[in-house]
Amino acid sequence: MLTRWRAAYILGHQDGGHALLRDGEVVWEGDSLVYVGPRYDGPVDHDVDLGESLVLPGLIDLDALTDIDHLVLDSWASPERGPGLQWSLDYFGRRRDVFTPEERALVREYALVQLALHGITTYMPIASEVHSSWAETYDDFVAMATISRRLGLRGYLGPSYRAGVNVVRPDGTRDVAFDEKEGRAGLAGAERFLEYADTLGDPLVRGALLPCRIETLTEELMRQTAALALRRDVPVRLHALQGSVERELIHRRHGCTPLELLGRTGLFGTRLLVPHGIVIDRHPDVYGEDRGDLATLAGAGISVVHCPQTSLRYGSVLHSFGAYRDAGVNLCLGTDSFPPDLIRGMDTGVHLAKVVDGRADAAPAEAYVEAATLGGARALGRTDLGRLEAGAQADLVAFRIDDVRDGVRDDPVRTFLLNGTARQASHSVVAGRPVLTDGRLPGVDLGALRARAQGLFDKMRAAYGERDTRGRSADELFPPTFPEFKETQ
């Protein structure tokens, strides 16, 4: 069956890069695009006129939040309250799952629905382990794969695993407490899921190795991860180069930098994605100048998953988007927190780059759009994603740009990034199958899902108190912005 979208603007692919097509058409059959251009002359079975819309390649989010929002709780803590958001060393010995398996599945469903509503078509998940007894499990991801397939998203999936967890000691210092048996079991579960994904035979579910933060892994677990990735030919994503605490913990335990540790454990030889990738030699907290780390990242073929909106909310920034790009580092994008809005994220990144580099053209809008599409495709080794051209996968998303609140329009892409939001997504298609239609997800009761998610968030919030090294309640850790209004006589 041939399906055609017509729209005021389509970001097609031509001569090796994106090209803007005005009053264009895109046609697909099955899971592949057959035409992108001004006018398709043949008959079609299904015709959709999207009017004043901007059609983009499906957005690729490689650090996609699949959790209940926690940034709303932990992104504004004072130095006095901040340590209370980590596990206490005492809690390490009495840790528990805050959610039941059924509740964890509901959390994943809520999060995946959010991704779809924001125009994301391909994702690699990330969730906090703070409310788990250790990390994600094989069973968690069997459930996630089921939900993802039902919604029709394209996922690169695998349970997180770790051999250690960040803790706060009684004296207030940060450390990592290890349980290497848990690390070995987690890796085994991850390999088991790779096998499960293969048996599904579903092109929308691909296996990936998603170990946790670098400081929570042993050298042996990192080496085993690298060996497994090469043996199974799957990508690895490892959060690293995130902050000064990570760098200090790695140096204390391993006597090297996080980047050096990646190299000596064999991960340079894998298809490695590093979310954030901020704290390298050119970062002001290190040397403030390039001493070769960018060349090392580029030479190792590492993709940096840039999450500008989340970085800003935690008070950090990439130094800088333009420098990484000029050095040949493949940049792709992630949301990493709520809302999973890559449009707002791209706009944030464009303006942060101006501040860091001190020039208005430091990271133009088109460079960020390329990172959200072609950069993500390169990270996954997929030449059939991230572009709208004949032969590519039929992954595409349409955003309405006809609201008076969008303002006047110059270049439609630049104006949309500046004035718009991913909430303007109206339609999306993954592998030729509709996911989002007229802003709705067929079969999903958003009102009921929202109410149930709020209950789970409240449960997650309350559990912070039992982990605090000083025994403070959640209300003490998360005081309100303003006191409650009191009724007067």
Q: Is the pLDDT of residue 126 over 90?
A: yes
The Cα–Cα gap between 426 and 119 comes to 8
Query: Using one digit for the tens of pLDDT, what is the confidence trace for 182-235?
Result: 999 999 999 999 999 999 999 999 999 999 999 999 999 999 999 999 999 999
Q: Is the pLDDT of residue 402 over 90?
A: yes
Q: How many whole angstroms from its chain centre is CA 350? A: 18
* Average of per-residue pLDDT values in the chain: 96
Domain spanning 58-381: CATH superfamily: Metal-dependent hydrolases (3.20.20.140)
C-alpha distances in Å from residue 396, one per residue of 1, 82, 287, 354: 17, 41, 42, 30
Determine how β-strand 53-57 pairs with β-strand 2-14.
Answer: parallel
The Cα–Cα gap between 396 and 392 comes to 10
The predicted pLDDT at position 83 comes to: 86
Residue 222 neighbours by CB distance under 10 Å:
22
Which helix (H) or strand (E) segment holds residue 101: the answer is: helix 101-117
The predicted pLDDT at position 69 comes to: 84
Q: Is the pLDDT of residue 363 over 80?
A: yes
Q: How many whole angstroms from its chain centre is CA 448? A: 25
Domain boundaries, the chain: 58-381
pLDDT band at 179 (very low <50, low <70, confident <90, very high): very high
Helix (H, G, I), strand (E, B) or coil at 160: coil
Share of the chain above pLDDT 90, in %: 93
- CA-nearest of 102, 109, 103 to 66 is 109
Q: Is the pLDDT of residue 350 over 90?
A: yes
Quote the tokens at residue 475.
Answer: 């209300």
Q: Is the pLDDT of residue 460 over 90?
A: yes
Read off the pTM. Answer: 0.97
For residues 393-422, average pLDDT: 95
The Cα–Cα gap between 396 and 122 comes to 10
- CA-nearest of 435, 358, 468, 467 to 117 is 435
The predicted pLDDT at position 74 comes to: 87
Quote the tokens at residue 437.
Answer: 């239609």
When mean pLDDT is compared across 75-79, 125-129, 388-392, the lowest value belongs to 75-79
Query: Using one digit for the tens of pLDDT, what is the confidence trace for 293-344?
Result: 999 999 999 999 999 999 999 999 999 999 999 999 999 999 999 999 999 9
Q: Would you say 468 and 89 are in contact if contact means Cβ atoms under 8 Å apart?
A: no
Query: Using one digit for the tens of pLDDT, what is the confidence trace for 26-84?
Result: 999 999 999 999 999 999 999 999 999 999 999 999 999 999 888 888 888 888 888 88
The separation between the first and the last C-alpha atoms of the chain, rounded to the nearest angstrom, is 70
Largest CA distance in the chain: 75
Q: Would you say 365 and 343 are in contact if contact means Cβ atoms under 8 Å apart?
A: no
The predicted pLDDT at position 80 comes to: 86
pLDDT band at 273 (very low <50, low <70, confident <90, very high): very high
The residue with tokens 């439609």 is 412
The residue with tokens 């209940």 is 68
